[in-house]
Amino acid sequence: MRFAMRSLSIALTSTLALTAAACSSGSDDDSSSTAGASSCQPASSGTVNLTYTSWIPGIEDVVKVWNAAHPDIQVTVQTGPNGNSGTYQNFFNQLKAGNAPDLGQIEYDALPSFRVQDGLENIASCAPVTEAKDKFIDWTWNQVSFGESDAAYAVPQDTGPMALFYRKDLFEKAGIAVPTTWDEYAAAAVKVKAAGGYITNFSQSDINQFAGFVWQAGGNWFSNDGSKWTVNLQDEASTKVADYWQGLIDKKLVSTVPAWTTEWDNAYNKGDAWTWVSAVWGANSISSGAPDTSGDWGVVEMPQWTSGGTTAGNWGGSSTAVFKGSKHPYEAAEFATWLNTSDEALTMLAEKANLYPATKTGGSLDVFSKGVDFYGGDKIYDVFAKAATQVSPDFTWGPTMTSTYSSASDGFKSAVSGKGTLLDALKSAQSSTIENLKSQSIPVAE
Amino acid sequence: MKDARLSKTVAMGIMGICTLYFLVPIWWLFVGATKDRGDFSNTAGLWFADFHLGDNLHDLFTYRDGVFLRWMLNSVLYTGGAALLGTLLAAMCGYALAKYSFPGRETIFNIVLGGVLVPATALALPLFLIFSQLNATNTFWSVFLPSLVNPFGVYLARIYATASVPDELLEAARLDGSGEVRTFFTVSSKLMFPAFITIFLFHFVAVWNNFLLPLIMLGNERLFPVTLGLYTWNSQVNQLPELRMLVITGALISIIPLVIAFLLLQRFWRNGLGAGAIK
């Protein structure tokens, strides 16, 4: 699941963070609740009641199926706006007040912030999780274990493997070959411009797409050696990606409409923008945002940095975590595992909310093996199933992504309007991220 | 003579622009709610395309077992209920502060006045922590009880009671054997009625707009007020674009109670404001 950085939500979260910080001193006396990885046992008897907070549309219906089949483990769904629009802040408040739900939906890029606050239960030793571990694509497991052995701070739920959506009809008419490398993509951009369009729209406010590009290029923004965080927003790969898109922006080969607006929908609907390098859920964004272009789109693997390469980026995705303080981590883990591995749950999540599973076999479910009408009957999910296995396993998110995103997105907005560059934006995001880590007393290496 | 006409024209012009400025967004919302999703992003925002208001309303009212209607009902209960009770409390409190002299009266009034300066937003988190202690978060009461408090209403009620309820009248009532409570409800409240309307409207709008409190308190969708519900849907539009039209249509429907409240009460309100101004 992706997120859109809305200024409202940023303002909201930051005000709340301030208030929370002001109230938080002196209430950290919950050191006794370190259940650890070794004591995950089922409840001895009686019905177990769990609460689960998620903003997936239609999640209630999926949980209903579970509740009907498991009379002794009943799950109550709570809901709210998507994570960064308020639900994460609610989780933090609830953890502080000791009434967090048993389970919660957390996107991969927000998991580290909960881990740093010691808000997550390590469920690696819970039998259902131990058994299911191998069902998940390796890189998704790294996202929830943070590379620690014998650790699982959540169960992977969905992913956003990336591919290239392109206007088959327009490329054909203009006689442009579909780009397979980023060099070809830049060359195609010139021809598309000559034909009166833009090759794509560069997302100025949603940094996650850019992060997906960096992920593909082999960059790694954060790392943690067990004691200290290292921030590296300007590593080689990030610099390469930033320079590449800066080049396209400078030559005015890409449009820079704010993403997820009707203006943006319109650019695709009218054929102003010819391609979109996006995640699997983008298929639905296009079909609903640009309904007039039905049948005109094709999907191929995303452009590569080296000819013949086979790496993909990832954009979005979330997990199901068990919060510290849950009285029934075993049952919670059992539910989370069912929710994210069973065919019936994954199928419902796909149909109701366009979630693409994180499991190795999820991509071959019936819902994903059918042709999609909007894409001329193409089996577009085959491309994503392949991409899902080609995502680099090493990308790590940091514990303060909200502030990193907002800083970078400020810089990106200036860059597209000609003030500064994308690289400058990364540079200032780097320093503000380090500031932010320090201000939260999170150890950081410089 | 000419000057007068000119200034009248200028005044009307400015009023016209203001009216337009306030009405255009509502017009946009109305027009938007009549379109289907394709037309919504592809046609001009201020004029109609194919008329789909009926479909949109149908979708809105049937989506997820009509949860939207539930939200509307909740909003009316939270705001209507809290505004009614809150107005009564504020009025009684302000009246007491105005008409009875007792030790600490000014201190209490000043504290209440200080309360006016504290924005509801800043109180949401402390309230959450308090309600957590009581295990009462995620309940109707966790939103309703805090919404009853209205320091500005107390302030208004006191000012108004001082100005509009003569001490002699209260004295007369007492001589006739009326108790204090009875006097308040049968005599004073009649005199203060315009102030009640003003307080009620202010309170109504304040509770309706207090978005952060339910956001922090509530997790059960069936308890959401309409503002939080629409916000939740709006945050899911990226994932489920079908929701966009529901948000637009829902926003249009959600302003109806406010419009009704204002149309019905506006006459009284004007009285109230005017009365204060002349005296």
pLDDT value at position A156?
97
A229 part of contact set with chain B, CB < 8 Å: no
pLDDT digits (tens, 9 = 90+) for B59-90: 999 988 889 999 999 999 999 999 999 999 99
End-to-end CA distance of chain A: 32
- B186 in the same domain as B215: yes
Provide the 8-state DSSP code for A192: H
Contacts of A97 in chain B (CB under 8 A): 128-129, 132-133, 137
Nearest to B238 among A53, A79, A260 (CB): A260
**Residue A204 confidence class, pLDDT cut points 50, 70, 90:** confident
pLDDT value at position A309?
93
Count of structural domains, chain B: 2
Contacts of B243 in chain A (CB under 8 A): 57
CB contact under 8 A, A265 and B128: no
pLDDT value at position A262?
81
- B103 in the same domain as B2: no
CB contact under 8 A, A289 and B215: no
Question: How far apart (Å, rounded) are the C-alpha atoms in residues A84 and A104?
Answer: 13
- B124 in the same domain as B44: no
Q: At residue A422, does pLDDT exceed 80?
A: yes
pLDDT value at position A244?
97
B222 part of contact set with chain A, CB < 8 Å: no
* Averaged pLDDT of chain A: 89
Cα–Cα–Cα angle for A157, A158, A159, rounded to 5 degrees: 140
- How confident is the model over A207-212, as a mean pLDDT? 94
Provide the 8-state DSSP code for A378: B
CB contact under 8 A, B129 and A270: no
A258 part of contact set with chain B, CB < 8 Å: no
Domain limits at B41?
A: 1-51
- B200 in the same domain as B213: yes
Q: At residue A12, does pLDDT exceed 70?
A: no
- List all residues of chain A from 7 to 46 with a beta carbon under 8 Å from chain B: 9, 12, 15-16, 19-20, 23
ipTM of the complex: 0.86
pLDDT value at position B46?
83
pLDDT value at position A21?
40
Nearest Cα residue to A51 out of A85, A79, A30, A72: A79
Q: Which helix (H) or strand (E) is B141 found in, with range?
A: helix B140-147
pLDDT value at position A38?
53
Q: At residue A14, does pLDDT exceed 70?
A: no
Nearest Cα residue to A115 out of A78, A169, A152: A152
Contacts of B70 in chain A (CB under 8 A): none
A81 vs B50, residue with greater confidence: A81
pLDDT digits (tens, 9 = 90+) for A232-260: 999 999 999 999 999 999 999 999 998 88
pLDDT digits (tens, 9 = 90+) for A36-57: 445 788 987 889 999 999 999 9
Question: How far apart (Å, rounded) are the C-alpha atoms in residues B217 and B228?
Answer: 11
- B18 in the same domain as B115: no
Q: At residue A11, does pLDDT exceed 60?
A: no
pLDDT averages per 10-residue partition of chain B, 279 residues: 83 94 93 85 81 90 91 94 95 94 93 90 92 94 94 93 91 92 91 89 88 94 94 88 90 90 76 51
- B9 in the same domain as B123: no
pLDDT value at position B277?
47
Q: Of B12, B33, B51, which residue is a domain's last?
A: B51
- B229 in the same domain as B182: yes
Q: Tell me how close the Cα of A414 comes to any Cα of chain B, in angstroms.
A: 24
- B216 in the same domain as B103: yes
Selected for mutation to probe chain B from A265, A266, A356, A374 (highest B CB count within 10 Å) is A265
- B127 in the same domain as B47: no
Selected for mutation to probe chain A from B121, B215, B246 (highest A CB count within 10 Å) is B215
Q: Of B35, B51, B67, which residue is a domain's last?
A: B51
pLDDT value at position A25?
38
**Residue A20 confidence class, pLDDT cut points 50, 70, 90:** very low
Q: Which of A265-269, A385-389, B20-24 has the weakest average pLDDT?
A: A265-269
- B248 in the same domain as B167: yes
Selected for mutation to probe chain A from B137, B223, B236 (highest A CB count within 10 Å) is B236
- B157 in the same domain as B200: yes
- How confident is the model over A170-181, as a mean pLDDT? 95
pLDDT value at position A17?
42
* Residue A356 φ then ψ, to 5°: -105, 120
- B251 in the same domain as B213: yes
In the beta sheet, which residues pair with residue A320?
Answer: A105, A155
Q: Which helix (H) or strand (E) is A320 found in, with range?
A: strand A318-322
SS3 state of residue A235 = coil
What is the CATH number for B146?
A: 1.10.3720.10
The model's pTM is: 0.88
